[in-house]
Structure 1
Amino acid sequence: MAWNNQGGPWGGGQSPWGRGGGSGNQPPDFEEMIKRGQDRMKSILPGGFGSGRALTLIGAVAVALWLLTGFYVVNPGQVGVNMLFGRFVSQTTPGLRWNWPVPIGDHYTPDVATRYRVEVGFRAETASGSDRDVPEESLMLTGNENIIDVRAVVLWRINNVEQFLFGIGDPETSVKNTVEAALREIIGQSSFEFAITEGRGQIEVKARDLAQQMLDSYRLPTAGEVEESKAGAIIIEQLSLQKVDAPSEVIDAFRDVQKARADREAAINDSQAYVNQVTEEAKGQATQIVKQAEAYKAEKVAIAQGDAQRFISVYEEYKQSPDITERRLYLETMAGILAGMNKILIDDSGAGGTVPYLPLDQLLKSRQQAPDTTSTDPAPASGSITGASQ
C-alpha cells in the first residue's frame, strides 16, 4: 500500500491515520484505522462531532459551498433568467451572475441571438448530402383541388424569453406544425397555376404572417410578469419556399401541359402583336382620311362662302343698276361658255345666198405654232355655206 512505503508522503511507514495495521503482506486492520481517525478528529474538535461548535462549522462550510453553486456565466448572445421558488423574477445580461441555487432558486441561459432552422416537407441528410422527402408534410391541396408538392425552410429565433421557457414545450415542433398549418391554409386559398408561378412570393409572405399570428396566440400568462406583453415567444424571421411543384409521379405530364400552355401563350402574344400592328396602321390611315376630309370640307366651305359673298355683292349692284348688271352678267356668262369652244364668225348679210365665214380658231393655232415667223401661206379660201347656218 502507498502508506506502507518508507518513501511515501507520510514517512515512517505510517498511513494517513497513524501506524500501519499490519506488517509484511498482511492486510491492515480497518477497524483500528477508523478508531485512530476518530481519535485524531477528537484532537481537532475537543468536543467531538456532536458539539455545537462542530455542527456550526460544518453547517457554515456546507452553506458556503451551496451558495457558491449559485454563480453562473451568461455568454454573449444569451440572456440569464433567474427563478425563485419556481417563479420568474428577473433577466440578466451577459457576464458573471448569481442567483439562489437549487432548491430555492434556479437559472436558465437561453441563446437569443442564434437563428434556428426548421424544415417543412423534407429533411436535409447531412451524411448523404441529399434531401429526404416527407410526403405527409409536403403534399398539399390547392384551391382548385390539385395536389402540390411544397418544401419550405423557416428561420426563427427567441423573441420573448419568459414565454419561450414557460409557454412552449417543444419549440421546434411548434414552429414546424404552425408553419405547415399556415402553408396549407394559404395554398388552399390559391389555385395550382398561381402557386407555382407568380404567387410564390405572395404565399411566402402570407404564410409567414399567418404563422406568426398563430405562434403569438400560444402565449401563456406567467406569474412573474409585471406588464402584459403581446410579444410571442418566437419570431419567424424568414420563410422560404424551396420547392413548389407538381408531385414527382405526375411531373412529366405536368411539364407537357406547361409547355402546351406556353406555346398557346406565345401564339396568343403573336396574334395580339399582329392585331396591334394592323390596328395602328388602320388608325393612321383613318386619321389621314379624316384630316383630308376636314381639309376638303374647309376648302369647300371657303369656296361657298366666297361665292355667297360674291353673289351678295352682285345682288347689291343689281339693286342699284338692274339693266347694266344684267347685261354684264350675261356677257360674263357667255364669255365663260364660249371660252373653250371653237368659234365661227358668220356674216349673213352677203348677197347671192352665200354666207362667208372666218376660221379664227385655225388662225390662232397657226399663229401659236409659229409666233416668230411671218406665214407666207395664203389664207384659206372662203368657203361657201349654203342653206342654213352651221
Structure 2
Amino acid sequence: MSDEPRRDGESRRPESPGRLDAVQRMLALLLRSAGARIAEDIRRLAGGAAATAGRDIRAAFAHLFRNPHLGKISLAALVALYLLSGVYVVNPGEEAVVRRFGRLVQARVGEGLHYRLPWPIERADKVNVAEIRREGIGVTPPEHGLQFHPPEEVQVLTGDENIVNLKVIVQYRVKDPADFLLRVDYDANPLIRNAVKHALTAVGAEARVDDLLTVGRTELQRLVQAAGQRTLDEYRSGVQLVNLTLQEVIPPREAADAFRDVASAREERAKAINDAEGYRNSVVPEARGRAERLLREGEGYRADAVNRARGDAARFGSILDEYRRSGGEDGGDVTLYRYYVEAMEKILPRVKKYVVDPKGRNERVNIRVVEPR
C-alpha cells in the first residue's frame, strides 16, 4: 500500500518539466513568426510612405524645374529671405552681442534696427542692461517663486567670536553684456551668491556683533557691497551690484536668549541716556535764561545807580555853584534855607506831627527843626 503512492509520484515528477519546456518553445516560435510578419509589414508601409512622399515632393517642385524663370525667381526670393533674416531690433534698455562663428565681433550694440550676417555665420544675443534684478542670500526673493528647498543659512563669525545668521538681498544689473553672456551665460545668481558670501565672511570677521545688531549695519552693507563688487570684477562677470541690504541679523537659536538680554540692556541704557539728555536739555536752557535775566537785572541796576549818583553829584554841584554865586556864607544862608524849606515840605507830610504851644496863645507856630546860626 505504501509503495503505490510513491511510484505514482515518481512517475509524475519527470513529466512536468517536459510539458513546460514544450509550451515555452511553442510560445517562442509563435512570437518570432508574429514579430517577423509585423516587421515586414512596417518595412513595406515605410517604403510605400517614403516613395509616396518622394513622388509628392517631386510633383510639387516639378513645375519649377519645367519653368526656368520661375525657378530663378523662387531661388532669388529664398536668398533674399535668407539675407533678410539677419535684420534684428534691439529694444530700449537692451544691448546686443554679435558673434561670428562663435567669435565676438561686436560687444555692445545699442538700441535700434541693426543687421548681422544670417545664421549660421553670425548670431546676435540681446541682454537687458536696464533691468534691476534681485538675488537673496539666506532668503528667497518673492519673484523667484515657490522653492522646494529652503534657502541655505549664512553664518558669519564676527571679530568678537560670536556667530550670527545673516539674510541679505542684493540688487544688481548687467553692466557689460559681452562678459555677462560669454562668461556667466545669463545665470549670474550662483556667482553673486558666492561672491557676497565671501565678502560677508571677510568683512564680518572684522566687525563686532554689537555693531551688526545696531549702528554698524549700514557701514557693513557698504563694505560687503564693495568687496563683492571687487570679486565680481576679478571674474569679469559683467555684473554691477546696485544695492545690498542686510535684511536680518539673527543670533543662533542656542544663544537667542542671551542676545535678547543684551538687546534689552542696550535699549534700557539708550533710554536712560535719552532721558538724561532730555532732562539736561530742559534744565540747562532754563538755568541759562535765569542767569541771563539776573545779569540783565544787575546791569540795569548798575546803570540806574550810576545814573542816580551822577544826577545827585550834578545836583550837588549846581547847588554849590548857586551857593557860591549867592555871596559865600552870608548870602548862602538864604540858599540853604530855601533847600531846607523844600526838604521839610517833602518830609513833614509823611510823618505824624504833634505841636505843643507852651504859651497857650493859639498863635501861628514857626517850626524850625534846625536853629539858624
Give CA deviations for 1:111-132 in whole Å, capped at 9, x if unaligned. Answer: 4356554332356896677844
User: Does the 8 A contact of 1:159 with 1:234 survive in 2?
Assistant: yes
The reply on whether 1:261 has 2:277 as its aligned counterpart is no
**Overall identity of the aligned pairs, in %:** 26
Aligned length: 284
Question: Aligned partner of 2:328: which letter?
Answer: P
Alignment partner, residue 251 of structure 1: 256
Give the conservation status (yes or no) of the 8 Å contact 1:115–1:155: yes
- 2:178 corresponds to which residue? 162
Q: Secondary structure at the match of 2:257?
A: helix
Change (3 A) 1:9 1:218: closer
Change (3 A) 1:329 1:195: farther
**Amino acid in structure 1 at the alignment position of 2:305:** K
Q: CA RMSD in A?
A: 4.8
Q: Does 2:318 correspond to 1:327?
A: no
Whether the 8 Å contact between 1:152 and 1:240 is mirrored in structure 2 is: yes
* Per-residue CA distance 1:315-344 (angstroms, 9 max, x = gap): 222333211464246546766589558676
- The amino acid that maps onto 1:212 is Q
Provide the rounded CA distance (Å) in 2 between the counterparts of 1:206 and 1:358. Answer: 114
- 1:307 Cα shift? 0.9
Structure 1, gaps ≥5 residues long: 18-63, 220-231, 347-355, 364-390
SS at match of 2:235: coil
Runs of 5+ in structure 2 lacking a partner? 1-40, 53-77, 366-373
Q: Could you tell me how far apart the structure 2 residues matched to 1:166 and 1:88 are? A: 9
2 CA distance for matches of 1:217 and 1:119?
A: 21
What do residues 207-256 of structure 1 show as CA deviations (whole Å, max 9, x unaligned)? 3344334423433xxxxxxxxxxxx6112234232212333332222122
Alpha-carbon shift at residue 296 of structure 1 (Å): 2.0
Please say if residues 174 and 180 of structure 2, whose CA atoms lie closer than 8 Å, have aligned partners that are also in contact. yes
In 2, are the aligned partners of 1:155 and 1:239 still within 8 Å (CA)? yes
The answer to which structure has the higher helix fraction is 2
**Which AA in structure 2 matches 1:119?**
G
CA distance in 2 between partners of 1:251 and 1:157 (Å)? 36
Q: Which residue of 2 aligns with 1:58?
A: none
Shift of 1:284: 3.1
- Matching residue of 1:121: 138
TM-score, length-scaled by structure 1: 0.55
**Counterpart for residue 88 of structure 1:** 104
Equivalent AA in structure 2 for residue 277 of structure 1: S
AA aligned to 1:121 is: G
Q: What is the distance in 2 between the residues matched to 1:242 and 1:359?
A: 113
1:240-290 Cα shifts (integer Å, max 9, x gaps): 322123333322221222222222322332233233333333333323323
Q: Mark the CA change 1:184 to 1:328 in structure 2 (over 3 Å): closer, same or farther.
A: farther
| Aligned AA (2:189) | E
The match for 1:200 among 210, 213, 217 is 217
8 A Cα contact 1:84 1:100, kept in partner: no
Q: What is residue 300 of structure 2 aligned with on the other side?
A: 295
Deviation string, structure 1 residues 78-101 (Cα, Å, up to 9, x no partner): 765443455312367789964463
State the partner residue of 1:377. none
Report if the CA contact (8 A) 1:74-1:109 is conserved. Answer: no
Instruction: Name the CA distance, whole Å, in 2 between partners of 1:358 and 1:330.
Output: 31
| Partner secondary structure for residue 138 of structure 1 | strand
For the 8 Å contact 2:174–2:240, the answer to whether it is kept is yes
1:283 aligns with 2:299: no
Distance 1:122 1:80, change over 3 A: same
One-letter identity of the residue aligned with 1:327: D
So what's the TM-score if we normalise by structure 2? 0.57
Tell me, yes or no, if the aligned pair for 2:158 and 2:207 is still in contact at 8 Å. no
Is the 1:343–1:359 Cα contact (8 Å) retained in structure 2?
Answer: no
Alpha-carbon distance change, 250 to 112 in structure 1, aligned in 2, over 3 angstroms: same
CA drift at 1:306: 1.1
Verify the 8 A CA contact 2:116 2:124 in the aligned structure 1. Answer: no
